[in-house]
Copies of this chain bind each other. A is one copy, B any other.
Amino acid sequence: MSYSALTHHFQQQYHLQHIAAICGWDQATMMPSGGNQARAEAMSTLAVLSHQQLQAPQLADWFAAAKAESLTAAQSVSLTAMQRQWRDATMLPSDLVGAFSLAGSRCEHAWRSLRPANDWAGFLPLFEEILNLSRQVAAARADALGLSCYDSLLEQFEPGMRTATLDPLFAGVKQWLPDLITEVQAKQARVRVLQPSGTFATAKQKALGLEVMRLLGFDFNHGRLDVSAHPFCGGVSEDVRLTTRYDEQDVAQALMGVIHETGHARYEQGLPTQWRSLPVGQARSMGIHESQSLFFEMQLARHPAFIAQLAPMLVQQFGEQAAFSPDNLAKLYTRVQPGLIRVDADELTYPAHVMLRYEIERDLIEGQLQAKDLPERWDQLMQQYLGISTQGNYKDGCMQDIHWTDGSFGYFPSYTLGAMYAAQQAQAIQTELGSFEQLISHNLPSIFDWLQRNIWQHASLLDTDALITQACGQPLTANAFKLHLEQRYLG
């Protein structure tokens, strides 16, 4: 039976992804630097063989035959998901894949030293090369999928999402966000907040992180916590590898980072076991993934009822100080301050960073903006959305993110879609189960159960619209997100 042959084939593909994920995790957390050249070569060979496996010539026949077989509804959805993964792997000519991968490696590698040197002139030709190849990739995908160029890239990260949806959604946010930021800043200017003082030993921060992960239901029989320069949630659903980094002067960075990654991890750990090794059993989209990390970090962890539980843990590890009062921590963890750097941004200004990048990358890919004009456009939008100039400051401006350097155009919207989905989920939970104040204080597991039932267990069995509509009673809007921000920051 072709369906079961396909199932076996895609399970093998999943196994190779498992191997690559563990070796990638090792490279970031454990590997001595002298091992890097050999590791890069080994992982490149694995990627080539994995890609070849996915392009096996018999798959086309199997897909054709499987459609005529008698399948359950779930199997049909699974078949579609396999075909989508296969289509993604086969729609690009292999010389374009090779050139794109090489230019991405080259640009990303150079970026690591050019960014700290603020060297836009040195970066520009490499960026032009990866942009040019990304446009070719987009054009080939657009042609195969019958989409616009940018939509064809978006489709990789956020299946079903289109510019036609994003443009009005983000336009709506732009109408109220800048004023809201100004208003919140004016309100917070009158409020005194204490910064925790002292040195926060790495070992104690790690103990705190593990305690919070346990509180959040992380399954340590299927995962672990380690250190890497750039935190991520890696590994596989059966063995989720979280990483963080510790700054002994700042306890919040690792703490909130661990909570954020724990959101990703619980989604992975909660995916349905019976579909786990097939495309349909994997996370629905980057936006849904981000919705879980942001649900944990923003909806849960920065809620006063959760902070009331964090405060004694901080005191236990680091001793009493006034800054660790629940009231002060709540103010500290919701402090709004427009800044240059996206990854350091607070909950309220973060969407401005994302919308800026969305507009720019859309125009870059559609050919309406040229690489050389990027700094000027960046500066103009930063002034418009956050009132900050980046003129001449490339390293904290248009050169700050890794995404475009390796050609990951189309990813940025997922961050703010995730924030919106998370707000809708939090609203639905409170409508259904009661206020977060009560739930977080007395029945945290009921929240995780809701997420398990409504999000995690569905993996990719539902498309994103259906998933959100079924879970929240309505499709995606920015309403819940706006309401959440107003209540938290002005309420």
Determine which of B15, B32, B34, B222 lies in contact with A42 in the assembled complex, contact meaning CB atoms within 8 Å.
B15
Q: Which residues of B contact A34 (CB under 8 A)?
A: 219, 221-222, 238-239
Encoded as 1 (CB less than 8 Å from any B CB) or 0, chain A from 25 to 40 comes to: 0100011111101110
Identify which of residues 7-66 in chain A touch chain B, using a CB-to-CB cut-off of 8 Å. Answer: 11-12, 14-16, 18-19, 22-23, 26, 30-35, 37-39, 41-46, 48-49, 53
Identify which of residues 163-217 in chain A touch chain B, using a CB-to-CB cut-off of 8 Å. Answer: none
Chain B residue nearest in CB terms to A276 = B38
Determine which of B12, B221, B235, B237 lies in contact with A33 in the assembled complex, contact meaning CB atoms within 8 Å.
B221
Given A221-B33, A222-B34, residue A19 in contact with residue B15 (CB < 8 A): no
Copies per complex of this chain: 2
Is A236 located at the chain interface by the 8 A CB criterion?
yes
Determine which of B31, B45, B220, B239 lies in contact with A15 in the assembled complex, contact meaning CB atoms within 8 Å.
B45
Is A223 located at the chain interface by the 8 A CB criterion?
yes
Q: Which residues of B contact A276 (CB under 8 A)?
A: 38
Is A342 located at the chain interface by the 8 A CB criterion?
no
State the Cβ distance, A459 to closest chain B Cβ, in Å. 16
State the Cβ distance, A453 to closest chain B Cβ, in Å. 22
CB of A224 within 8 A of CB of B30, answer: yes
CB of A222 within 8 A of CB of B15, answer: no
Q: Which residues of B contact A238 (CB under 8 A)?
A: 34-35, 37-39
Q: Which residues of B contact A26 (CB under 8 A)?
A: 22, 26
Identify which of residues 217-274 in chain A touch chain B, using a CB-to-CB cut-off of 8 Å. Answer: 219-224, 235-239
Given A11-B41, A35-B239, 7 more contacts at CB 8 Å?
A12-B48, A14-B42, A16-B45, A31-B239, A32-B221, A34-B238, A35-B235
Residues on A facing B (Cβ under 8 Å): 11-12, 14-16, 18-19, 22-23, 26, 30-35, 37-39, 41-46, 48-49, 53, 219-224, 235-239, 276-277
